[in-house]
Amino acid sequence: MATLGLSEADRKAVEDFRRDVVDPSRTSLVVVDFWAEWCGPCKQLTPVIEKVCADYASKGVTLVKINVDENRFIASQFRVQSIPTVYAVFQGQPVADLSQARTEGQLKQMLDQILAQLPVESAERSQAEEIAPLIAMGEQTLDDGDAERALSIFSQIAEMAPDHPAVLAGQARALVALGRLEDAEAALAAVPEEFAKDQGIERARAALSLARDAKPVQDLSGLEARLAANADDHEARFELAGGLMANGDREGAADALLEIIARDRQWNEGAARAQLLKLFEVVGLEDPWVSTQRRRLSAILFT
């Protein structure tokens, strides 16, 4: 905003706006709330905006309130026709009109969409970038079969980011791999509700469920003998799949479950398919092995 020819009051308003809004918006997302003392809807919206902006402070969001009666020139520059009017400003420019958001959920949804598209600097983003390679290390260690070390890595990361869903999920899966199922259940029960549907958390829950279902079998020969005598003994084959999973043979477990589905997909209310889908989730839906098994499952179901 140019200040040439402005009154002293307007010049001060512009300088204040530059200090409070324009300069911080170089790296942060500044929510500018135009309001007035006499505005009833403004008073209703104020606690919503203040709460959401406080919740999103770690995401790089700050709130600036501008009284239109005291800052008419600034309001005119933003073409404010009615209040409340709320804009999101980044790098000195309005990037979104948030005025239609009247509830906490609506405002959060709009901010989430904006933050996903802009390079807003924040403590949360910086922390995420810092711990990403550590999480990858924990995942690789867990994949390599060293659950004890993986648990140690995830526990150390948790000291930095105690509520990060990937860290919570990694800890739980490491506990499952160690056979500490009660500890894993307690860890998952403590997950914040906002992360309940997180893919990593659901993967950890599937791992726990699978571990409870999969009973170690010291000698599989008895089950194999039952199947040799009766290939349609699905209960024996399902138990065999559980034993194979418990022994770490996911290939053999998948083969057994797919064989049950091929012979009787409705057996025990689709138990074999449900167990196979749990196995997919535990391994990871993006894993190439899962893609291969999914194709095998599709071939059975659609032929």
Catalytic residue annotation: 39, 42
Distance CA 187, CA 171 (A): 8
Distance CA 187, CA 192 (A): 10
Residue 213, SS3 per DSSP: helix
* Contact (CB, 8 A) for 297 and 276: yes
* Contact (CB, 8 A) for 37 and 69: yes
Distance CA 263, CA 234 (A): 9
* Contact (CB, 8 A) for 239 and 223: yes
Q: Is 136 exposed, middle or buried (0-12, 13-18, 19+ CB in 10 A)?
A: exposed
Q: Indicate the helix (H) or strand (E) that contains 94.
A: strand 93-97
At what angle are helices 199-213 and 181-189 packed, to 10 degrees? 150
Distance CA 222, CA 256 (A): 15
Q: Indicate the helix (H) or strand (E) that contains 89.
A: strand 85-90
Render 32-46 in DSSP notation, one character per residue.
Answer: EEEE-TT-HHHHHHH
Q: Can you count the helices (H) and strands (E) in the chain?
A: 14, 4
Length of the chain: 303
* Contact (CB, 8 A) for 62 and 92: no
